[in-house]
Amino acid sequence: MSAERITQGIDCDLAEHFQILDTRFLVAIHHGDVDVVHLARQELMNRGLNGEGRWVGFAKAGELLGV
């Protein structure tokens, strides 16, 4: 699989952040034991960002992201 297909247009240097993840976490993702979309939404909410990465405030981010 090409890096282009894996990242769907995201710069490869961003995809390289997976290299620092613990193997157990990667295996859990692989097996579907971790909902990475939920984790991403939670982190965006914690930063007060909407799904496009724009600041909307913490409460609004949680509302928009369904977290």
> What type of residue is 49?
L
Residues 6+ apart with CB under 8 A from 50: 44, 56, 60, 61, 64, 65
Give phi and psi for 49, each to the nearest 5: -110, 150
CA atoms 8, 10, 12, 14: torsion sign: negative
For residue 14, name the pLDDT band (cuts at 50, 70, 90): confident
- The confidence score (pLDDT) of residue 5 equals 57
- The confidence score (pLDDT) of residue 1 equals 47
pLDDT in tens, 16-62: 888 999 999 999 999 999 999 999 999 999 999 999 999 999 999 99
- The confidence score (pLDDT) of residue 7 equals 57
